Structure 1
């Protein structure tokens, strides 16, 4: 609750000075401490209080409703409704995939687990199965993870680094001398795991066209020719992870599927996760595409990727099948620092290797070991430098946000019955955005506040649906404005210009900015009744800002302003934007000891276009034991359209 005054009396002067010079209530994220997990019904850490370090190692997933965990259920419910639309064949071109299963979790609580559509809908392209023969998607449906399999390969590689069998900076040829062919002798394990090796994207020719069986196909991987020198560029490549597969198999003497089973799925009791799933799983497996070349017919229960199929279904880049529940256990284990139910698959320092950005020199392609970092095109509102994840061509995605201790999993069969489909990145972003916006952001002073964030729309210029977004600059944007009335309010016998003369004006407000670097949030002023606007220097903001509140201060000249002064806060989101959005509160405009505008006063002249007013307090704050906020001290009763009388 802020202190302000409208009548100049000695006590009032003291109150005003206390309000202007006293410390602003600190952001919950600014104290530099992590109080650990927040527990209890209706209590949640808040998106503006990012966690530091890993979750407690004994955190175990549990089922809960969003409201019981202090989350706003509305964004999650809205996503579930959209998921139903995206799987509805009656939507025509707006259908993104036949079937999908989604899961959201925050601080160990699974708050959404929902399936929609069909796991099997088509017999072949253009031929729908009759309803009686379709297989509905379920929450335990097993999906082909496609490139999410790369994460399992990466974890196995880091396990070998922990065990001392691999060195991150060592050339792969140290372990596989034949890999040095065609000038590849200097490519390191790190470069393979971060896609900076210089290898092309795919084997050429495709492995399924290489005769001679598995030995010949492994030799083809070793003999691949680089397309760039090591470290010179980022290029996402299946060959990188196929090469890592051969390295870990060589140093351990075990096949990759055995390493994944012994090192990941068995310790974590991921009972529905495997390469080459057994026939008994087939009724629960979602179908993928109808393959003509190679001639495989409708693919269901065998790996979709043809190169992985040529490797016998076990490949470094593809081949793993799983469910949302099993992937949730893996995600929570990483949030816990590598442990789940007293079973450790990695140490905390090893998990940090997965989340460390090794590709800062390639902006937009941030990458840890196997995991992608801060990719707004599918991480949406959960994106940040401490967010890791991956996508898969079959229509899968996993997003793990270390700062909010949350994760979002979307598994679909978007390639059923054919590969060329609309991009599903809007659905991926929408899922992450739903969770991000369900986690509250609370104004430091507890008073009136406003919110706006990027919308989740189509992908302009999408080139590779389901796997990589080109990251090209999007045309256009969406502006939202919060505009003041004329300042100051009219006083009999004095003009607006006279009221603003005699000294500079001070503007301050609380801003929570968690946005894409291409977004823009800025304060502007107008001295001609709103016909033209000028940016107030020093107020422009974009990017993540550590998910913390900032008290922004600006000074304006005292006038004259013959037509009065108007202020507006403008937020511009690009067509494809990451981050949760922008919150604004605590607006205070003063000249000397005179308060011209206090946004916490009833009737404060602020008009929102695009911004969403949040009631004071946040609806769930009372259950969370937070202050209730309310009217600023000193606002006169019955305040009308202006900020109150000026004396």
Structure 2
């Protein structure tokens, strides 16, 4: 039997109970859940197992690959540069990265990269996922290619490319790599156990990801010249790749952040708290307001579901994530079900990270169960 550890306020006892039931049923392998309300941690739970063989328990300092929840930190880095006056979200990307203007991309603005509307949602073939590890070369290739749809007209999830695109802007505007910026300007000052990639000294406390259930895809129904196929199907990513040394050593700002619910909540609650956490200022309220400048709302050209994007984050959309708050809130998560929801109206941050990946596009049955239980407790 897997035990649940940590603490929660008595008002949130049902969240612990739900977590225990998920672990006991085997639906959950190992995970961590954190809820922060107005700067106070009211839930900080962890439990289960690091490994599929259920030999190594998930402990307080266990971290895991958080997949696209990484994007939330990467885009926070860009917004911090906006806040410092080094990056204008409404300026052409080419103002900071001249080479990006090639092949008709001179009109693409920074906000388009941050909202998945640039048309550069994947790499032109031939391209293998291992090619992402050479950050400089992979980024040059993105600068050289043409967009796959008219920029700014619709979102098409930049599943793998957003980290390279935004990371290059960080490098050019801050004079340092995305990995170092996150370490020195975000995780370090906040004391957050999060990193792009993973330091080798931390590998023994990483919970390897367990792939999601196999899903059949009717390739005959997918336009092979469309963004969905070219982004996701030309070189499908095997989830177990995240458990390799090469993956952990790479800088993949869209995909390979390592942390847990506590570290993601610690970082992203800055959005709920007017930009400042325990005296560490990351953003101004004025910059945070940019998140809610809607950039797209409709069927995403890559994921095929309704999505609404502001600058840097997804905004509430009743069909795709109906259990998220529908007011002034933002969210995103990672492949398999990890999720961070920031509700600015109630100054609440919910963070859930796990190693056993579920099915589905955004969120999972488990993340929905936890979020609904948390909201019931909040009420």
Is TM more than 0.5 here? Answer: yes
Q: Which structure has more strand as a fraction of its residues?
A: 1
Match of 1:247 in 2: 169
Selected match of 1:313 from 238, 250, 259: 250
Q: TM-score, normalised by structure 1?
A: 0.48
Q: After superposition, give the CA deviation of every residue in 1:494-533 in whole Å (9 maximum; x if it has no partner).
A: xxxxxxxxxxxxxxxxxxxxxxxxxxxxxxxxxxxxxxxx
Selected match of 2:281 from 332, 344, 358: 344
Q: After superposition, give the CA deviation of every residue in 1:591-646 in whole Å (9 maximum; x if it has no partner).
A: xxxxxxxxxxxxxxxxxxxxxxxxxxxxxxxxxxxxxxxxxxxxxxxxxxxxxxxx
| SS class of match (1:146) | coil
Asked if 1:274 is matched to 2:211, the reply is: no
After TM superposition, give the deviation of residue 262 of structure 1 in Å. Answer: 2.1
Query: Which structure's CA Rg is the greater one?
Result: 1
CA contact (8 A) 1:377 1:425 kept: no
Q: TM-score, normalised by structure 2?
A: 0.80
Selected match of 1:401 from 313, 338, 343: 343
Query: Within 5 A, what are the aligned runs for 1:455-534?
Result: none
Assess, with a 3 A threshold, how the Cα gap between structure 1 residues 217 and 439 changes in structure 2: closer, same or farther: closer
After TM superposition, give the deviation of residue 405 of structure 1 in Å. Answer: 1.9
| SS class of match (2:258) | strand
* C-alpha RMSD of matched pairs (Å): 3.1
CA–CA distance in 2 between the matches of 1:107 and 1:435? 15
Query: Within 5 A, what are the aligned runs for 1:277-426?
Result: 277-288=198-209, 299-300=242-243, 302=245, 313-360=250-297, 364-375=306-317, 380-415=322-357, 422-423=359-360, 425-426=364-365
CA–CA distance in 1 between the matches of 2:114 and 2:41? 30
Asked if 1:438 is matched to 2:377, the reply is: yes
CA–CA distance in 1 between the matches of 2:294 and 2:327? 8
CA–CA distance in 1 between the matches of 2:94 and 2:310? 22
After TM superposition, give the deviation of residue 175 of structure 1 in Å. Answer: 1.7
CA–CA distance in 1 between the matches of 2:240 and 2:154? 38
Asked if 1:114 is matched to 2:45, the reply is: yes
Match of 2:179 in 1: 257
- Higher RCO (Cα < 8 Å, 6 or more apart): 2
Q: After superposition, give the CA deviation of every residue in 1:171-221 in whole Å (9 maximum; x if it has no partner).
A: 112222221222111110011111111223456433545499544322212
CA contact (8 A) 2:35 2:349 kept: yes
Match of 1:187 in 2: 108
Assess, with a 3 A threshold, how the Cα gap between structure 1 residues 328 and 211 changes in structure 2: closer, same or farther: closer
Task: Number of aligned residue pairs: give it.
Answer: 342
Selected match of 1:235 from 156, 163, 166: 156
Q: Which structure has more helix as a fraction of its residues?
A: 2
CA contact (8 A) 1:146 1:320 kept: yes
CA contact (8 A) 2:338 2:354 kept: yes
After TM superposition, give the deviation of residue 339 of structure 1 in Å. Answer: 0.8
After TM superposition, give the deviation of residue 411 of structure 1 in Å. Answer: 0.6
| SS class of match (1:351) | helix
